[in-house]
Structure 1
């Protein structure tokens, strides 16, 4: 009864499988709620373990088979709420929150071999590291690894040697080993892209924080071309992430490296609505998407312009999915950008509700359905601001996209044409959501963007 992949795990005795799901005849009307269940393998009987309404996910059974760790939060209409980490008995009794006030989304939940506690990863301000918390609760989680990196926890030995995937801005993902007893620099076990990167000079990256509206502090990164000279003037690409509840991070990005290698400064931002900064920051766009996220993006552009090395006449904006929402919103609210590449956007929330494969996501963003209160639906739709657009706009969407379907792009394209705004629509055959699942299309997307910008 859930819309995406589910978590499940065997009990140590091999007699049961614990899993997340929703056994409910009204499941078609369920947006995010789920429960933890137990399946008796011999009989096929299913027993519901959690009882409180909520989004309960990622069950992990303790080594002795007596407890279950899981993540989630009580049922809510909040657009975003950071998940907590819980432990309960195998029969669902004695539920306790063990993550305290961490206010970050736990992932890769793994029991310590002796059952004393739980290791987990958590995205935090553009990085991911591993944490530990006692299973009994009452003690704040402590950070075990540290570093400007994206580090996962895939497997854990009895001696607390962990294996995961690590990436940084200059290191593509590789398998690493690290010791949770004596944390230090992870040891790389693979070097998959060594031959590709041999002799290649990569772009540099600078992390910045800056103020925005309402007293918000916003984190972003500036990617600078190899051989960067601050005395020169460079074109700028503002690339916007999707979600909207997602987190740009310090992982290696071929796209950003490619843009920088072609002489662009790239700005990527975690505006309000992003994860990794707590519930209040992530939920700041509730019932108002887009809104203050736009403020944060433009404040970031102003911050980089203040450095003196960006040509204000050669600034470009782009993004896919949630980034398509915001890039189309940007060009309807400012004429500062010389061109835009709007990819797989939502531009009309009313028609989106009837076209997408996630209609309940769409309805949840508004106080009431559009037939009761259409004004808010229209106010948050980029299509309603197309009369302000003068920016030459490239549109790209997969023909098989069911998330932000092609009609969204077509609506915007036709409106731009009616206004005589320079525009091109590229339809990607065989692509679902996004335009880069095939390597050739991944490259074409970037080449089309740079060609349009030039």
Structure 2
């Protein structure tokens, strides 16, 4: 814990740790989730110190929780537990999963409901008893009403089935507030308790567009849309203390700042205007003080505090060596026209120590999403590649967020060709206007970036090496196994059985015989966003065709990203080896950990 005014941080909890930390509204306690017999329970610890006390003892554990405004109760969501007979059968191995039969998705799931725990009496009370799965929720200031979003099951590709509900404690009444095919989420009560805020792109369908803020009057059940479109990337939303404004972070281009929306006039005020990524992490009750995180191309993320019109105070310095003993390189923005004249922006970094006029090898990095973006943030892998002599080009091609609906929706019907042509136009621009060697080029991408990278190398032989991570190369084969509702709803359209030609055309496996680029492929063994068989299929095709060197590395226990640090290092080291070998013709040897030298 660190003082708001800055100063020395002190350790506040023991080795058992915790997660989902929250202060009680009265400021007297810090609460968190901690595992007890493999079930998460809420613990509380007085800010003056002492031992943490277990507050909840809910059978099956707690999913999510929030304090009541008076600090006297904790509202929480929790999964329904098995009956004694169900548990006995499960323990004996009678555990088939009836896929997509509520509440299940691809795996077993449980319905979840809302509960409240009285802190003084240690008594818990069930609030809802329904067959749905509770997601986000918020309570009115008097604690008598709870608004929440919930969905009927855990099916991966049906997020638009989320609806809003209201539970009124005084009359023990549950009311469904919405009934459509649009995903409502993030409900927040207004300070006066008469209405609440939420976000949704539409009140009819799940459209691919910038979201709107909506305010629903509780008495009339009528919602009004605030006619201010926000970018796709909006988070950390909070009401102002007077209830007349909404605070939120929004990404515009590559920078993220803090904004205030006046709910009466619709005017948006820019509260911060910095190059970089600023995200609010906590507000004081009067909203006059805020703790925020900040980072940019050359500065790793740290926490800061500001309030009462003063200057920001740095609270943490978790990477003191960066910029001190470790040299870093800044990024710049390049702009060009992509396919059909669409305005595209990208981040360019020179190699570390680059001398003007000397050409340098370049790596094109394609971001994931597809509605992601390369932001003004500290990217360690960019700095590593730059330190090894590579320039970086990271284009925010069509489909990216932060650039309005034209770019966000620009990938619809353009999967593969659209982003490929946007990226190649940016590459040609960088070669023409920066010191880039057109004969020493590489390309890399993960997730949707892996999708785009695999497609890119079927269309051109300009790259000397490619790194493909967590890819999808056969959209038809991914239907069902993967997370691909967006492909069917927006990007390709239809299904493989009613639109087979288009689904094949947009799949890199269809064009794989054209690949001559040396390709290294990575995938997590437990990835269910992009199913692991996709990489094996592409690897098998490249190996059997034999036109290009190929290597495939699968990481046990890992999902859509690599989380174990040692495996993460293996991925980056092997990627660098590949680039060094096929872009520069070098046999590169990395620095080794002492434990590696011992063979452990």
- Residues 349 and 378 in structure 1, CA contact (< 8 A), matched pair in contact too: yes
**Judging changes above 3 Å, is the alpha-carbon distance between structure 1 residues 315 and 398 closer, same or farther for their aligned structure 2 residues?**
same
**Judging changes above 3 Å, is the alpha-carbon distance between structure 1 residues 44 and 409 closer, same or farther for their aligned structure 2 residues?**
farther
The answer to whether 1:155 aligns with 2:155 is no
- Stretches of structure 1 that go unaligned for 5 or more consecutive residues are none
TM-superposed CA distance for 1:131, in Å, is 1.0
What is the rounded CA distance, in whole Å, between the counterparts of 1:108 and 1:37 in structure 2?
22
Identify which of 245, 252, 265 aligns with 1:117: 245
**Structure 1 residue ranges (4+ consecutive) displaced by more than 6 angstroms after TM superposition:** 1-5, 25-29
Partner of 1:303: 429
The answer to whether 1:361 aligns with 2:486 is yes
Alignment of 1:237-248 (within 5 A): 237-248=363-374
TM-superposed CA distance for 1:42, in Å, is 7.5
- Residues 63 and 113 in structure 1, CA contact (< 8 A), matched pair in contact too: yes
TM-superposed CA distance for 1:27, in Å, is 7.0
**Judging changes above 3 Å, is the alpha-carbon distance between structure 1 residues 96 and 42 closer, same or farther for their aligned structure 2 residues?**
closer
The answer to whether 1:428 aligns with 2:555 is yes
Partner of 1:93: 221
Identify which of 185, 188, 191 aligns with 1:57: 185
Partner of 1:224: 350
What is the rounded CA distance, in whole Å, between the counterparts of 1:222 and 1:190 in structure 2?
28
Partner of 2:390: 264
Partner of 1:134: 262
Partner of 1:38: 166
TM-superposed CA distance for 1:195, in Å, is 4.2
**1:81 counterpart SS class:** coil
TM-superposed CA distance for 1:106, in Å, is 3.1
Partner of 1:410: 536
What is the rounded CA distance, in whole Å, between the counterparts of 1:29 and 1:443 in structure 2?
32
1:94-115: CA deviations, max 9, x gaps?
A: 4222252455543211010111
- Residues 526 and 559 in structure 2, CA contact (< 8 A), matched pair in contact too: yes
**Judging changes above 3 Å, is the alpha-carbon distance between structure 1 residues 44 and 386 closer, same or farther for their aligned structure 2 residues?**
farther
- Stretches of structure 2 that go unaligned for 5 or more consecutive residues are 1-102, 106-132, 581-600
Partner of 2:334: 208
TM-score (norm 1): 0.92
**2:292 counterpart SS class:** strand
The answer to whether 1:388 aligns with 2:517 is no
Partner of 1:370: 496
- Residues 231 and 251 in structure 2, CA contact (< 8 A), matched pair in contact too: no
- Residues 2 and 22 in structure 1, CA contact (< 8 A), matched pair in contact too: no
- Residues 525 and 558 in structure 2, CA contact (< 8 A), matched pair in contact too: yes
**Judging changes above 3 Å, is the alpha-carbon distance between structure 1 residues 408 and 26 closer, same or farther for their aligned structure 2 residues?**
closer
Aligned residues: 447
- Residues 2 and 21 in structure 1, CA contact (< 8 A), matched pair in contact too: no
- Residues 350 and 378 in structure 1, CA contact (< 8 A), matched pair in contact too: yes
**Relative CO higher for 1 or 2, CA cutoff 8 Å, sep ≥ 6?**
1
TM-superposed CA distance for 1:89, in Å, is 1.6
CA RMSD after TM alignment: 2.4
TM-superposed CA distance for 1:378, in Å, is 0.2
What is the rounded CA distance, in whole Å, between the counterparts of 1:29 and 1:431 in structure 2?
21
**1:332 counterpart SS class:** helix
Partner of 2:567: 441
